[in-house]
């Protein structure tokens, strides 16, 4: 389990910057996939090749039959699956940390501008922190929301891909007996698998957990889409275009905000100049 500690700590940091459904997904990932895989599956699948026995003495036949029955070990397949579906979340975490770092520097610049010349920062572009508060709590909106939705879409595609890949490679059920006729086997030989029932239990458990994770990602994706649509409708409802209140483009709106901020800070600039002259 030591090799999963780093991934677990990184995923734990993502919880602060996720929705409620995203936190449930992370719990399912860590408890029902990583812990189960490390605690039980490694012991069950540890003997898969050594106890794969065929009723022949032909050298190489047993290895060839095992390779045909299991192109990749279930255990390694699940490890690859967990790492793959975790990667988009870690990329999103990197984006969040980058945004937090930018806004931390922005707050320091605002504080410095207030101490020295209060309008200097505003004249450079009217940029203010909008994705986090003073305590570092992230508000998922704007580019963070787009990054989060992209993260969900990639996870959905990966989950579907791995479920289909498992079905294509192994199927969803192991049989106690495999019939093999590949070279260099002299004829059709019977090969027998160790503990097929116990392994089937793990296969179905991991499959159900993968489906639950896929369902959570889909629910979260539609939840965020519906929330965004409702926010857009509410903003449109709050601002009614009339001859008195014409439509305002984003560019003109930003200019008006900048002019308003300059109007607010001009008296303060005058006070500072009079104080410096005196």
Per-residue pLDDT of the chain (278 residues; tens, 9 = 90+): 555 667 777 777 777 778 888 888 988 888 888 888 877 777 777 767 778 889 888 888 888 999 888 888 888 899 999 999 999 998 998 888 887 777 777 777 767 666 555 545 444 444 555 555 555 566 677 788 888 999 999 999 999 999 999 999 988 898 889 898 888 888 889 999 888 888 899 899 999 999 999 999 999 999 998 888 887 787 776 655 555 455 555 555 555 445 544 544 454 445 445 444 54
Q: Do 84 and 6 fall within a single domain? A: yes
Q: Which domain holds residue 259?
A: 241-278
Q: Do 223 and 248 fall within a single domain? A: no
Domain CATH for 20: 1.20.1440.80
Q: Do 210 and 101 fall within a single domain? A: yes
Q: Do 97 and 123 fall within a single domain? A: yes
Q: String of b and e for 84-100 (b: at least 16 CB within 10 Å)?
A: ebbebbbebbebbeebb
Q: Do 247 and 153 fall within a single domain? A: no
Q: Give me the DSSP letters along 14-73.
A: HGGGS-HHHHHHHHHHIIIIIIHIIIIIHHHTTTTTTT-EES---TTHHHHHHHHH-SS-
Q: Do 225 and 246 fall within a single domain? A: no
Q: Do 215 and 100 fall within a single domain? A: yes
Q: Do 74 and 111 fall within a single domain? A: yes
- Position 184 scores a pLDDT of 86
Q: Do 96 and 124 fall within a single domain? A: yes
Is 188 contained in some domain? no
Is 256 contained in some domain? yes
Instruction: Provide the 8-state DSSP code for 194.
Output: S
């Amino acid at each position: 389990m030591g090799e999963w500690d780093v991934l677990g700590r990184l995923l734990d940091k993502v919880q602060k910057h996720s929705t409620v459904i995203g936190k449930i997904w992370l719990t399912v990932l860590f408890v029902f996939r990583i812990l189960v895989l490390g605690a039980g599956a490694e012991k069950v699948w540890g003997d898969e090749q050594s106890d794969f026995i065929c009723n022949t003495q032909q050298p190489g036949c047993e290895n060839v039959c095992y390779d045909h029955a299991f192109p990749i070990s279930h255990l390694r397949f699940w490890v690859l699956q967990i790492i793959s579906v975790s990667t988009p979340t870690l990329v999103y975490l990197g984006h969040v940390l980058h945004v937090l770092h930018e806004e931390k520097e922005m707050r320091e610049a605002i504080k410095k501008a207030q101490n020295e010349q209060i309008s200097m920062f505003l004249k450079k572009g009217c940029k203010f922190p909008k994705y986090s508060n003073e305590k570092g709590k992230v508000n998922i909106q704007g580019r963070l929301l787009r990054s989060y939705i992209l993260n969900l879409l990639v996870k959905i595609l990966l989950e579907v891909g791995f479920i289909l890949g498992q079905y294509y490679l192994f199927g969803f059920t192991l049989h106690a007996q495999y019939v093999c006729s590949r070279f260099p086997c002299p004829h059709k030989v019977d090969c027998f698998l160790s503990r097929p029932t116990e392994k089937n239990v793990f296969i179905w458990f991991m499959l159900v957990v993968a489906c639950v994770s896929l369902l959570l990602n889909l629910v979260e994706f539609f939840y965020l889409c519906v929330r965004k649509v409702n926010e857009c409708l509410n903003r449109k409802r709050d601002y009614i275009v009339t001859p008195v209140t014409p439509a305002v483009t984003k560019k003109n709106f930003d200019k008006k905000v900048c002019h308003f901020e300059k109007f607010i800070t001009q008296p303060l600039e005058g006070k500072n100049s009079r104080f410096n002259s005196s």
